Amino acid sequence: MEAVIFHVDLDAFYASVEERDNPEYKDKPVIIGALPGYRGVVSACSYEARRYGVRSAMPVSEAYRRCPDGIYLRPRMERYHELSVQVMEIFSAFSPMVQQISVDEAFLDMSGTRRLFGTPMQAAEKLKSEVRRQTGLTVSIGIAWNKYLAKLASDFRKPDGLYQVVSGEEERFLDQLPLKDLWGLGAKGRQRLEELNIQDIPSLRSYPLGVLKRQLGNGAGEFLWDAVRGKDPGIFSQEPKSRSLSAETTFGRDTADEEGLKATLLDLSHQVMFRMMREGFSGKTVVLKLRFSDFSTTTARTTLNSPVVSAEELYKEAIKLFSKRWSKGREVRLIGVGLANIEPGTAARQGTLFEEPQGRHKRVEEAVVMIRDKHTEDAIVKARLLGSKKQN
């Protein structure tokens, strides 16, 4: 039986949540991140904002120059995670094998579910309808027999898209895509291909593997050789659930923007800690993952004396690792953070006479997780009050 993999991606997730909660924002350029006049970057934006050239990780000063009439908002991470949990629970009703790879996207193994949900396209339509009914949000779904093709297919007809790559038609599908849409191929890689007079995917496929390795390096050569043939190059490997929990982001464009990279690390740290707390795990080993524009990958880890108890603590340790492994100006295509050697339950820190600040952060974050799971507007108000007390 051939595998059936869904890649399900919430459309412009942060901005869509803001539009859901504030209908007056609908069809307007919504830009989330730092506010104009302050240092910082764009975390996310609506499709309307993207038409002005605004994109994630762009300095907010540049976003404001391009879109001065946009609606600029600070992120509401608790709210985004609340809806993310709700959506992931919907996914779990369709498949027992859900691999969440970020706050707004996941892979579902739908193999063997035809009797329950019909053909893959019928199942995808039902899933899209259920997400819209329960949350008011839209998703794009790509269907294929491997994760890489499913990921490309979900991007193919965004927003609110649906596309299936049928076995045997992988190259026909890929040949419809411009070279820039080949996931994992960054700006420097494209520039090198242009120097070799490679303008599209069919011409790239015609190059022998040995030539690609010599011209681009072993990692990049092997990656592109597999990718243009519809083979999974292994970007989205399954994490060992019992041993680690992580979140990572592959940028659409390689970036060397330090503020943007740090902002992404902060977002990922929140994702990991919300999942850790909700699933009842704890861990002492912080792991950072970086993949650079030349496809080389490095990981760094540090093991603490006691379990990490808050997103703030996880971010602090991740930044230390980041400063050791990243040098200014070096472009990054993927960044990830996680906790390894995790265990069920929450291991207590050694007792002290006075409660540590980390302990207070942990209690606040656990309260937010508990409140969020109740799915009520009143609960969100309480969560914000908790956040205000933490700052005070």
Examine the domain organization and report whether 280 and 317 are in the same domain: yes
* C-alpha–C-alpha distance, residues 66 and 31, integer Å: 12
- Domain at 50, CATH number: 3.40.1170.60
Residue 374 lies in a domain: yes
Residue 148 lies in a domain: no
- Which candidate in 19, 78, 105, 170 is catalytic? 105
The rounded mean pLDDT for the chain is: 85
Q: What is the tens place of the pLDDT at every residue in 218-260?
A: 888 898 999 999 998 877 765 544 467 888 888 767 888 898 8
Residue 269, token pair as written in the block: 């740290």
Radius of gyration of the chain (CA): 21
Residue 124, token pair as written in the block: 């995808």
Examine the domain organization and report whether 371 and 298 are in the same domain: yes
Q: Which amino acid is at 272?
A: V
Examine the domain organization and report whether 65 and 202 are in the same domain: no
* pLDDT (0 to 100) of residue 170: 96
Helix, strand, or coil (residue 281): strand
- Domain endpoint, select from 77, 98, 113: 77
CA proximity to 293, closest of 220, 357, 378: 220
Average pLDDT (176-198) is 86
Residue 102 lies in a domain: no
Q: Under 8 Å CB-to-CB from 223, ≥6 apart: which residues? A: 184, 233, 295
Pairing of strands 343-344, 332-340: unpaired
Which has the minimum average pLDDT: 96-110, 124-138, 336-350? Answer: 336-350
DSSP string, 1-46: ----EEEEEETTHHHHHHHHH-GGGTTS-EEEESPTTSS-BEEEE-
User: What are the distances in angstroms from CA 192 to CA 81, 198, 233?
Assistant: 39, 9, 20
* pLDDT (0 to 100) of residue 385: 35
Q: In what order do the strands lie in the sheet with 5-10?
A: 98-102, 105-109, 5-10, 139-144, 162-164
* pLDDT (0 to 100) of residue 94: 96
Average pLDDT (324-351) is 78
User: What are the distances in angstroms from CA 63 to CA 71, 76, 106?
Assistant: 11, 19, 29
Kindly report whether the global pTM for this prediction surpasses the value 0.85.
no
Examine the domain organization and report whether 258 and 355 are in the same domain: yes
* C-alpha–C-alpha distance, residues 107 and 125, integer Å: 16
* pLDDT (0 to 100) of residue 185: 81
Residue 261, token pair as written in the block: 């990279």
Q: What is the tens place of the pLDDT at every residue in 136-167?
A: 999 999 999 999 999 999 999 999 999 999 99
Examine the domain organization and report whether 254 and 380 are in the same domain: yes
Whether the per-residue pLDDT at 388 is higher than 80: the answer is: no
* C-alpha–C-alpha distance, residues 266 and 318, integer Å: 9
**342 or 47: which carries more pLDDT confidence?**
47
> In terms of residue numbers, what domain contains 334?
244-391
* pLDDT (0 to 100) of residue 237: 63
Residue 110 lies in a domain: no
Average pLDDT (337-360) is 57
105 is catalytic: yes
Question: 345 falls in which pLDDT band (50, 70, 90)?
Answer: low
- Domain endpoint, select from 77, 93, 108: 77
Whether the per-residue pLDDT at 358 is higher than 60: the answer is: no
Average pLDDT (116-142) is 97
C-alpha 167, offset from chain centre? 27
Average pLDDT (265-291) is 88
Residue 194, token pair as written in the block: 């242009």
User: What are the distances in angstroms from CA 73 to CA 21, 32, 258?
Assistant: 13, 5, 21
